[in-house]
Structure 1
Amino acid sequence: MEQALTNIEQQTGASWSQELAGSLDEAVQGAVSSLCRADATGVVLFVSAAEKAACLANRNQKICAAAIQDVNHLRTVVSQMSPNLVCINPDQKSFIELRNLMKAFVSAGTPHPEV
């Protein structure tokens, strides 16, 4: 995964950081905190309970989170709501699918959620 992030950084000019959380709540809190402190303009959260993670994150008015299924779904969601947090269940997805989701999110540009 680290090599994939490096490749995406080189191809898009975006920078990435990785954090491992011990629980769903901790992962969501970390993502929300990063966005609220402006440490990040967008966050990709890999979690098995993607829908719950998006719901929890959306309790903060500065967050526009969505659970994403695939690249086509991501493109639709980006055009409709410009999320700054995408939650993806990595189960049953190949490395290539996950990489393509990350690239598509970066390619969508800086999100501008309505606050």
Structure 2
Amino acid sequence: MLIQIDFNSDEAIYIQLRNQIILGIATSRIQEGEALPSVRQLAENIGINMHTVNKAYAVLKQEGFVSIDRRRGAVVSIEADKRQALQEMKDELMVVLAKGCCKNISRQEVHELIDQIFQEYQV
């Protein structure tokens, strides 16, 4: 699993890690049922604190992307609550689209960008 962390970013490292794992799942680089590296192993590989990895895994569990198994650790396990996922997506998109509107980004440009991104996730 290839994780890229930008240590100069203003975004918290645990959020970057969370986002990288979600992107891995969406692009099928990480599969449903696959065990993620142990907290210790991933922390050592990336060069970050174990508590940071633990926090990222906890957020992923809370958001329904992983389950925690005593023997296997964090395992990709996507919950199927589509209604809740759509509401969460709507809440996040409202802010992202508002930012775009403030920067005069058109509806057409947004649709093209979404189509471009979705093509990356098609299996």
Range into which the TM-score falls when normalised by the shorter chain: 0.3 to 0.5
Report the structure number with the largest CA radius of gyration: 2
- Larger RCO, structure (CA 8 Å, separation 6 or more): 1
